[in-house]
């Protein structure tokens, strides 16, 4: 915040009104030097490269505004229709039909269902139509230095994007993505791009912007790396009995046996067929309370986005795309 002129006290009300909406938008020399040194030490990116690109980064208030009102803050009754609608389902079915061979190849190699890969692309970017309007450099710069709530995470992503640009020959100054700095059809953050992106078409590059084989293989690889179990359940509608308080788990890890959950009043509406650890999800649906039993694969989906609403929307959309309407309906 710039100093207020001490010999013009009549300007104080105006100054406070302005600065209340105008947080600092540039780095101090100490911040800049520390960041450049960190990128050099961790990723061996030349300081002159980092400095030249940092000079192009701009604070964007619209990015702060966007991250403070995410869709995941909505109740399930309002969140679900964003993705479970005719346009999104029909679009997914058409996309799956168009790219079936490539998707089924990835499914055969990884065990990750083709419809799940399509659902991720559908939820993230409407099947590649909306990949983001923000400059990635601006997004990560803004959140990494001017969003205290998660600045450590985003500053780390800003560091990694410099190395990513070097590794993948990306024009970082022109790169566009989401308000959070996620990129490509699958909306990978820089650290995830570096860790999980794969070369699906064998051209020696990992292109999550224009190569569908790379995009499909990379999304599947993300799930495999986080423990996807082929053929195992994701989520099932549950019946709840008993008049006591709902069971509220302390996370999304599938760490309870089905008999344990039955003792807590939760039973799947259809038989699982074998022993499996699970947990419970209670939601406010359009027609009242909904209860779900979720398994390890649900937790794996949640590594893509930590919101249980996101994971359930992706799963339900995948089932609708695969034309398994019975498992896509709201319980």
Tell me if 265 sits within 8 A of 244, measured CB to CB.
yes
12-17 average pLDDT score: 34
pLDDT at 220: 98
pLDDT tens-place string over residues 272-323: 989 999 999 999 999 999 999 999 999 999 999 999 999 999 999 999 999 8
Return the higher-pLDDT residue of 69 and 309.
309
Name the one residue in this structure whose structure tokens are 């995941």: 72
Query: Domains, the chain, ranges and CATH?
Result: 30-64+131-202 (1.10.8.350)
CA distances from 95 to 89, 101, 122, 126, 242 (A): 10, 11, 9, 10, 44
Name the one residue in this structure whose structure tokens are 């911040």: 31
Catalytic residues: 124
State the Cα–Cα distance between residues 239 and 217, nearest whole angstrom: 36
Nearest to 194 by CA among 306, 70, 42, 307: 42
Tell me if 159 sits within 8 A of 42, measured CB to CB.
yes
pTM of the model as a whole: 0.89
pLDDT tens-place string over residues 130-148: 999 999 999 999 999 999 9
105-116 average pLDDT score: 98
pLDDT tens-place string over residues 73-108: 899 999 999 999 999 999 999 999 999 999 999 999
Tell me if 220 sits within 8 A of 112, measured CB to CB.
yes
Nearest to 288 by CA among 327, 235, 246, 330: 330
């Amino acid at each position: 915040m710039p100093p207020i002129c001490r010999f013009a006290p009549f300007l104080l009300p105006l100054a406070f009104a302005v600065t209340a909406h105008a947080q600092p938008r540039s780095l101090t020399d100490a911040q800049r030097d520390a960041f450049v040194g960190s990128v050099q030490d961790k990723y061996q990116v030349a300081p002159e490269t980092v400095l030249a690109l940092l000079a192009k980064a701009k604070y964007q208030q619209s990015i702060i505004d966007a991250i403070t009102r995410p869709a995941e803050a909505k109740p399930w009754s309002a969140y679900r229709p964003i993705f479970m609608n005719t346009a999104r389902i029909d679009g997914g079915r058409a996309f799956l039909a168009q790219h079936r061979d490539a998707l089924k190849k990835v499914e055969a190699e990884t065990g990750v269902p083709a419809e799940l890969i399509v659902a991720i692309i559908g939820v993230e970017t409407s099947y590649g139509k909306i990949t983001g309007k923000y400059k990635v450099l601006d997004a990560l710069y803004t959140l990494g230095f001017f969003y205290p709530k998660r600045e450590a995470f985003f500053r780390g992503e800003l560091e990694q994007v410099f190395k990513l640009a070097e590794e993948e020959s990306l024009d970082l100054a022109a790169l566009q993505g989401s308000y959070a700095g996620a990129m490509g059809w699958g909306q990978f953050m820089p650290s995830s791009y570096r860790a999980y992106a794969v070369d699906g078409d064998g051209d020696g590059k990992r292109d999550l912007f224009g190569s569908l084989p790379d995009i499909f293989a990379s999304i599947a690889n993300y799930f495999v790396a986080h423990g996807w179990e082929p053929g195992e359940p994701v989520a099932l509608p549950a019946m709840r009995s008993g008049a006591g308080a709902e069971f509220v788990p302390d996370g999304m890890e599938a760490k309870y046996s089905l008999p344990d959950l039955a003792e807590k009043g939760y039973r799947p509406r259809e038989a699982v067929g074998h022993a499996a650890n699970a947990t419970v999800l209670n939601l406010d649906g359009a027609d009242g309370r909904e209860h779900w039993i979720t398994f390890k694969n649900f937790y794996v989906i949640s590594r893509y986005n930590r919101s249980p609403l996101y994971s359930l929307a992706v799963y339900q959309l995948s089932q609708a795309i695969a034309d398994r309407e019975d498992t896509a309906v709201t319980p």
